[in-house]
Amino acid sequence: MKKDIHPKEYRYVVFKDVSDGTSFLSRSTAKSKETIKWEDGEEYPLIKLEISSSSHPFFTGKMKLVDSAGRVDKFKNKYKKHYEKKN
């Protein structure tokens, strides 16, 4: 293995799944401008995730649509005429 390729500045970071609101504390080197107060009273950097194991269909066994950016609506509007012709 190559030496000195892994970062050394690991610190505790809170990851928050914005689709279902769950959060977890883990070590990471990810940079963040936001902070959050955790259950232990300490303040940690906050990383927001669109999807995590608590909301992903593979882990939950449930299919649900996660559309935080409006991509599904944009797609439907773009191809609206195509779908109207078929019906």
- Give me the average pLDDT of each 10-residue run along the chain (87 residues): 85 89 91 93 91 66 62 76 68
Residue-level pLDDT at 34: 94
Cα-based angle 63, 67, 70 (whole degrees, multiple of 5): 150
Query: In the prediction, which pLDDT does 54 show?
Result: 72
Tokens 């970071």 -> residue: 13
56-76: b (≥16 Cβ within 10 Å) or e: eeeeeeeeeeeeeeeeeeeee
Largest Cα span, the chain: 62
Least Cα distance to 20 among 45, 49, 44, 43 occurs for 49
